[in-house]
Amino acid sequence: GAVVSQHPSRVICKSGTSVKIECRSLDFQATTMFWYRQFPKQSLMLMATSNEGSKATYEQGVEKDKFLINHASLTLSTLTVTSAHPEDSSFYICSARSSLRETQYFGPGTRLLVL
Amino acid sequence: AQSVAQPEDQVNVAEGNPLTVKCTYSVSGNPYLFWYVQYPNRGLQFLLKYITGDNLVKGSYGFEAEFNKSQTSFHLKKPSALVSDSALYFCAVRANSISSGSARQLTFGSGTQLTVLP
């Protein structure tokens, strides 16, 4: 299957700082990328969908000014958590899909801990 | 709106026995159905999908799933479970490609924790 990488895998930061998470599709062109958040023992919650070269579409209740998403190329999307607070601590997972495939492939996830 | 139900939060099975993880769905039109597996602190790994064609789909690691349109189900099965199969399993659905907007997004079930006992 296709490979999606995420970096970093784990990050600890102080409250008020910003954190950037990168998501890369390594062997295919991702026309659409998705960012999810997952709480312990729960399912994935879609935060936003982004298409290459256009603004991300955010789900209801997700603050676009807090969770900045950039999808500047067909292989890279970034999620920046601005002015992070402890309640932003979570497991963030990206996913990518190409226009040629029906399957979404997922990155390994990033564990964010805000102190 | 599309939805997925995984009625069992937890499934326990002895190693070597067959396993079934249940999934039912609701979607407008024809569904695309997926199973993913998640190991602790990891992302989701794709197991198998149903798009069209044969109702019995074979996937990775010996898993298979049967699409049943009349029962709107897509149960995951494996003839002989391994301890290493212990993980969290997610069923997901989305509408077919001619749909647009939110219907093309994956909707996940709540997940089923599979524990295979040695």
Q: Searching chain A, which residue's CA lies closest to the CA of residue B46? A: A105
- The Cα of A40 is separated from the nearest Cα of chain B by a number of Å equal to 10
Torsional sign, CA B94, B95, B96, B100: negative
Q: Searching chain A, which residue's CA lies closest to the CA of residue B34? A: A103
Tell me the per-residue pLDDT of B74-92, one tens digit each, with 9 for 90 and over: 999 999 999 999 999 999 9
CB neighbourhood size of B9 (10 A): 10
Lowest mean pLDDT segment, chosen from A3-7, A38-42, B13-17, B35-39: A38-42
- Chain B CB contacts of A22 under 8 Å are none
Whole-number average pLDDT of chain A: 92
Tell me the per-residue pLDDT of A33-67, one tens digit each, with 9 for 90 and over: 999 999 887 889 999 999 888 889 999 999 999 99
Supply φ then ψ for residue A44, to 5 degrees: -85, 140
Could you tell me the CA-to-CA distances from B13 to A35, B17, B32 in Å, in that order?
A: 33, 7, 28
C-beta atoms of B46 and A1 within 8 A: yes
pLDDT of residue A53: 80
C-beta atoms of A108 and B46 within 8 A: no
Q: Searching chain B, which residue's CA lies closest to the CA of residue A4? A: B43
In this structure, are residues B90 and B35 in contact, taking their beta carbons and an 8 Å threshold? yes
